[in-house]
Structure 1
Amino acid sequence: MNVRHSILLLALMLLVGCNSSSTTPEGPQAADADNDKPRVALIMKSLANEFFSTMADGATEHQAEHADDYDLVVNGIKDERDLSRQVSLVEEMVASGVDAIVIAPADSKALVPALRRASQAGVVVINIDNRLDADVLAQEQISIPFVGPDNMAGAKTVGDHLAAKLNKGDKVAILEGIRTSFNAQQRLKGFQAAMQDAGIEIVDSQTAEWEMSKANTIASSMLSEHPEIKAILAANDSMALGAIAAVKSAGREGEVMIVGFDNITAIQEAIKQGKVLATADQHGDQLAVFGIEAALKQVNEKSAATADVETPVDLITKESL
Structure 2
Amino acid sequence: MRAPLLASVLALAAGAAVAQAQPVIGLITKTETNPFFVKMKEGAAEAAKAQGAKLLSGAGKTDGDNAGQVTAMENMIAAGAKTILITPSDSKAILPAIKKARDKGVMVIALDSPTDPVDGTDALFATDNYQAGVLIGQYAKAALGGKPAKIVTLDLFPGHPVGAQRHNGFLKGFGLAAPDAKSNELGKAAEVVCMADSFGDRAKGQTAMENCLQKAGDVNVVYTINEPAAAGAYNALKKAGKEKGVVIVSVDGGCAGIADVGAGIIAATSQQYPLKMAAMGVEAGVAYAKTGKKVSGYTDTGVTLIAAKALPGVDSKDVKTGTDLCWGKK
TM (norm. structure 1) is: 0.83
Tell me whether 204-213 or 57-66 shows the greater mean CA deviation.
57-66
Instruction: Tell me if 1:189 matches 2:168.
Output: yes
Equivalent in the alignment of 1:256:
246
Cα–Cα, structure 1 residues 130 and 250, in superposed 2: closer, same or farther, change >3 Å?
same
Instruction: Tell me if 1:160 matches 2:160.
Output: no
One-letter amino acid of the structure 1 residue matched with residue 170 of structure 2: F
Q: Which of residues 49, 55, 58 in structure 1 aligns to 2:40? A: 55
Equivalent in the alignment of 1:298:
288
Equivalent in the alignment of 1:144:
122
User: In 2, Cα distance between the equivalents of 1:143 and 1:54?
Assistant: 22
User: In 1, Cα distance between the equivalents of 2:106 and 2:269?
Assistant: 35
User: In 2, Cα distance between the equivalents of 1:164 and 1:214?
Assistant: 28
1:165-314 alignment, distance < 5 Å: 165-166=143-144, 167-197=146-176, 201-314=191-304
User: In 2, Cα distance between the equivalents of 1:299 and 1:206?
Assistant: 44
Instruction: Tell me if 1:65 matches 2:56.
Output: no
Which residues of structure 1 form unaligned runs of 5+? 1-30
Q: Which of residues 68, 81, 86 in structure 1 aligns to 2:69? A: 86
One-letter amino acid of the structure 1 residue matched with residue 163 of structure 2: A
Give the deviation of 1:314 after TM superposition: 1.0
One-letter amino acid of the structure 2 residue matched with residue 188 of structure 1: H
Tell me whether 240-249 or 37-46 shows the greater mean CA deviation.
240-249
Which residues of structure 2 form unaligned runs of 5+? 1-15, 178-188, 310-317, 320-330
Give the deviation of 1:144 after TM superposition: 2.0
Q: Which of residues 9, 25, 43 in structure 2 aligns to 1:40? A: 25
Q: CA RMSD in A?
A: 2.2
Equivalent in the alignment of 1:96:
79
Work out the number of aligned pairs and report it.
284
One-letter amino acid of the structure 2 residue matched with residue 182 of structure 1: P
Cα–Cα, structure 1 residues 32 and 183, in superposed 2: closer, same or farther, change >3 Å?
farther
For the 8 Å contact 2:60–2:67, the answer to whether it is kept is no
The 3-state SS of whatever aligns with 2:30 is strand
User: In 2, Cα distance between the equivalents of 1:56 and 1:234?
Assistant: 24
One-letter amino acid of the structure 2 residue matched with residue 161 of structure 1: Y
Q: Which of residues 114, 120, 130 in structure 1 aligns to 2:97? A: 114
User: In 2, Cα distance between the equivalents of 1:33 and 1:183?
Assistant: 40
The 3-state SS of whatever aligns with 1:132 is coil
One-letter amino acid of the structure 2 residue matched with residue 153 of structure 1: Q
The percent of aligned pairs where both chains have the same amino acid is: 29
For the 8 Å contact 2:110–2:121, the answer to whether it is kept is no
The 3-state SS of whatever aligns with 1:35 is helix
One-letter amino acid of the structure 2 residue matched with residue 190 of structure 1: G
TM (norm. structure 2) is: 0.81
Cα–Cα, structure 1 residues 34 and 59, in superposed 2: closer, same or farther, change >3 Å?
closer
Cα–Cα, structure 1 residues 164 and 192, in superposed 2: closer, same or farther, change >3 Å?
same
One-letter amino acid of the structure 2 residue matched with residue 236 of structure 1: N
* Cα deviation digits, residues 69-106 of structure 1 (max 9, x gap): x1111222220021111111111111111111000110
Give the deviation of 1:312 after TM superposition: 0.5
One-letter amino acid of the structure 1 residue matched with residue 38 of structure 2: S
For the 8 Å contact 2:284–2:295, the answer to whether it is kept is no
User: In 1, Cα distance between the equivalents of 2:308 and 2:251?
Assistant: 14
Deviating 4+ runs (over 3 angstroms): 31-35, 196-200
Cα–Cα, structure 1 residues 193 and 318, in superposed 2: closer, same or farther, change >3 Å?
same
For the 8 Å contact 2:127–2:273, the answer to whether it is kept is no
User: In 2, Cα distance between the equivalents of 1:307 and 1:252?
Assistant: 45
